[in-house]
A = this chain, B = another copy of it.
């Protein structure tokens, strides 16, 4: 009870430090990320894979409108977890940065540079008053100088580079799965398999095409490639993960 009172003291107004040096509003924003369904990124020798779990609360909802993977530029895709409306703001910011870079320097923006533009933007919302932090984590994947790169942005505005990572619900379990099964030498198909296997591992072993998102950027084409439901179904079949189709229960509070 006392701990609760203490916490309440840091919830109001601008983001400030607690006596033990933590930023509660940022930590609460991390909770908003955990409330979203899981997103996974896998880097392979041939390219990067983005795979996401989607919550489709009604069979009448167009599952394609539950956007958790976005094209940021021809050669960069972004998967998100957490507060959907916040994610949309950061994706728009990323796209504008990519366009500006193209216009100003005549060449595509680097994946690392783009990530750091995003995290610097996020950090401002944790230090300057008058707004709350972004309640979302992003996985930024793409090709830079012919190499696949995979980054994470978190609500504090810190960038990390990964071989493979999970954000959102079940992050702990999923990350352990990835660590146990990641193979540096895997090709893109292997990366897809790993991502889908991981998601299936926290979904009773099988997955519904309509509740999945999948995209890749390979080193050869350097093109973001979003998979439609048909191709996702094919991948699930190939990996023996295809669900026979009953719906999840779900809620509707804007986190994915």
Q: Does A32 contact B (CB under 8 A)?
A: yes
A interface majority secondary structure? mixed
Q: Return the CB mask of A188-205 against B: 1 if under 8 Å, else 0.
A: 000000000000000000
Question: Of residues 50 to 102 in A, which have CB atoms within 8 Å of B's CB atoms?
Answer: 58-62, 64-66, 83-86, 88-89, 92
> Which residues of B lie under 8 Å from residue A132 when comparing CB positions?
14-17, 23, 127
Most chain B CB neighbours (cut-off 10 Å) among A13, A89, A158: A158
Indicate if the CB atoms of A17 and B135 lie closer than 8 Å: yes
Q: Does A37 contact B (CB under 8 A)?
A: no
CB distance from A147 to the nearest CB of B (A): 12
How many copies are assembled? 7
Q: Does A240 contact B (CB under 8 A)?
A: no
Q: Does A12 contact B (CB under 8 A)?
A: yes
Indicate if the CB atoms of B89 and A163 lie closer than 8 Å: no
Indicate if the CB atoms of B85 and A119 lie closer than 8 Å: yes
Q: Which one, B18, B65, B84, B178, contacts A60 given CB within 8 A?
A: B178
